[in-house]
Amino acid sequence: MFRYFLLCFAATGGFLALSQTAAGDSIPQWRDLFNGRDLSGWVNVNTEPDTWKVKDGLLVCSGQPIGVMRSDRMYENFVLHIEWMHREPGGNSGVFAWSSARPGNNRLPDGVEIQMLELDWPKLHMRDGVMPPLAYVHGELFGVGGVKIIPENPRGPRSISVENRCKPRGEWNTYDVVAINGTIRLSVNGKFVNSISGSTQRKGYLCLESEGAEIWFRNIKIMELPPGVTTPDQIAPAL
């Protein structure tokens, strides 16, 4: 088993650098989850064949119907880099970590959701003249489908970002997600602003969400880290 240190964000791209600590230790490497050519490595769970497509090197999600596609394998401890851009006002999407990828009653699975909402979402979802908090749009973290978490910055059972760093539709956003032993820390556009701990599920699939609006993805990469002491009840059922 090797030991590693998360040193810093590089000046470009926000990728994390790792330092070798002992002679002969191997160093985790980045691996593309999207190759820019096709959907290799992803499995359509409950959307249509044309919900997800590749265009000009980008992963394009139409947003219809609501559902997900999942990674072809499960992950436990990792660093995920993903860039995304909404194309419609109030667009809704996200990434599910540690998911079973099994659709629930609302067509979305369990896991820890890493929210991706377009900045106009609160304006378009006012109730009785009250606008939802702007914090809702920029990297809220929460357990879904029975998965429980401990929020660092609570909004009820969810954790909100401490600073609004998301950009509006038509501009690229970057999320860097560090997921280790039931803890997730999220960097939005180059700055860590949110985290959760104590996830009751801490190994599972990654899912990309289709939820009503077109969204583009690019530069999806993962760096797998050493496993932790994960009990069988903390692992999603394998598909």
The CATH code of the domain that includes 38 is: 2.60.120.560
User: Which comes out higher in pLDDT, residue 14 or 79?
Assistant: 79
Instruction: Find out whether 124 and 89 touch, Cβ atoms under 8 Å.
Output: yes
Task: Report whether pLDDT(79) > 90.
Answer: yes
In a domain, 234, yes or no: no
Task: Report whether pLDDT(12) > 70.
Answer: no
List residues bridging with 68 in a β-sheet: 209
Can you give the pLDDT at residue 26? Answer: 79
Which long-range contacts link 38-41 to residues 24+ away (Cβ below 8 Å)?
A: 39/69, 41/71, 41/72
User: Which comes out higher in pLDDT, residue 23 or 28?
Assistant: 28
Can you give the pLDDT at residue 2? Answer: 33
Query: Please, which pLDDT band fits residue 25 given cuts at 50, 70 and 90?
Result: low
Task: Report whether pLDDT(15) > 80.
Answer: no
In a domain, 15, yes or no: no
Can you give the pLDDT at residue 133? Answer: 76
157-198 pLDDT, tens per residue?
999 999 999 999 999 999 999 999 999 999 999 999 999 999
Percent over 70 (pLDDT), the chain: 90
In a domain, 1, yes or no: no
Can you give the pLDDT at residue 156? Answer: 93
82-140 pLDDT, tens per residue?
999 999 999 999 999 999 999 999 999 999 999 999 999 888 888 888 988 777 778 99
Instruction: Find out whether 140 and 91 touch, Cβ atoms under 8 Å.
Output: no
Lowest-confidence pick of 25-34, 134-143, 144-153, 199-208: 134-143
Structural domain of 102? 33-227
In a domain, 22, yes or no: no
What percent helix, strand, coil does the chain show, rounded to 5?
5, 45, 50
Can you give the pLDDT at residue 125? Answer: 84
- Across residues 17-45, what is the average pLDDT? 81
Instruction: Find out whether 170 and 223 touch, Cβ atoms under 8 Å.
Output: no
Which amino acid is located at 156 in the chain? G
The candidate with the shortest Cα–Cα distance to 109, out of 232, 213, 210, is: 210
In a domain, 25, yes or no: no
In a domain, 19, yes or no: no
Split into its structural domains, the chain has a count of 1
In a domain, 136, yes or no: yes
Q: How is 168-225 classified by DSSP, letter by letter?
A: -TTS-EEEEEEEETTEEEEEESSSEEEEEE--S--BEEEEEEE-SS-EEEEEEEEEE-
pTM confidence score: 0.89
In a domain, 91, yes or no: yes
